[in-house]
Amino acid sequence: MGSVGGSGQDSSKRSRSGRLLVVSGPSGVGKTTVVRALAARHPLHFSVSVTTRPPRLGERDGIDYRFVTETEFDEMRRRGELLEWAEYSGYRYGTPRAPVLAHLAAGEDVLLDIEVKGAMQVKAAMAEAVTVFLAPPSVAELERRLAGRGDTDPTQVSRRLIIARWQLEVAPRIFDHVVVNDDVETAVEQIVRILEHPEPRENPS
Ligand code: ADP
Ligand code: 5GP
Task: Give me the CATH number covering residue 39.
Answer: 3.40.50.300
- Which residue's CA is the closest to the ligand 2 atom numbered 24? 114
pLDDT category, 51, cuts 50, 70, 90?
very high
Q: Flag whether 58 is in a domain.
A: no
Q: Give pLDDT, residue 2.
A: 43
Rounded to an integer, the average pLDDT of 43-53 is 97
Ligand nearest the Cα of residue 55 is: 2
Q: What is the pLDDT of residues 67-83, one digit of tens each?
A: 999 999 999 999 999 99
Residue 36 domain flag: yes
85-105 pLDDT, tens digit per residue, is 999 989 999 999 999 999 999
Q: Is 101 within a domain?
A: no
Q: Is the pLDDT of residue 29 over 90?
A: yes
Question: Is residue 12 predicted with pLDDT exceeding 50?
Answer: no
Task: Indicate whether residue 95 lines ligand 1 (CB < 6 A).
Answer: no
State yes or no: pLDDT of 13 exceeds 60: no
Averaging pLDDT over each range in 40-44, 71-75, 139-143, 195-199, which range is the top one?
71-75
Q: Which residues pair with 135 in a beta bridge?
A: 180
* Pocket lining: 29 vs ligand 1, CB cutoff 6 Å: yes
Whole-number pLDDT of residue 157: 87
Domain-embedded: residue 65: no
Residue 60 in this model has a pLDDT that exceeds 80: yes
In a domain, 60, yes or no: no
- Does residue 32's CB lie within 6 angstroms of at least one atom of ligand 1? yes
Does residue 128 fall inside a structural domain?
yes
Per the rule left: phi > 0, alpha: psi between -120 and 50, beta: everything else, 62 is: left
- Helix boundaries (H) for 126-176: 139-149, 154-174
Q: How far apart are CA 118 and CA 88, in angstroms?
A: 10
The pLDDT of residue 201: 53
153: confidence class by pLDDT, cuts 50, 70, 90: confident
How many angstroms is it from 107 CA to the middle of ligand 1?
30
181 lines ligand 2 (CB under 6 A): no
* CA dihedral for 44, 115, 58, 154, sign (positive or negative): negative
Q: Indicate whether 99 belongs to any domain.
A: no
Q: What is the pTM for the complete model shown?
A: 0.89
Average pLDDT for 42-69: 96
- Is the CB of 95 inside a 6 Å radius of any atom of ligand 2? yes
| Domains of the chain: total | 1
pLDDT at 65: 97
> For residue 24, which ligand has an atom nearest its CA?
2
24 pairs with which residues across the strands? 133
What domain range includes position 168? Answer: 11-47+109-196
Q: Does 182 map to a domain?
A: yes
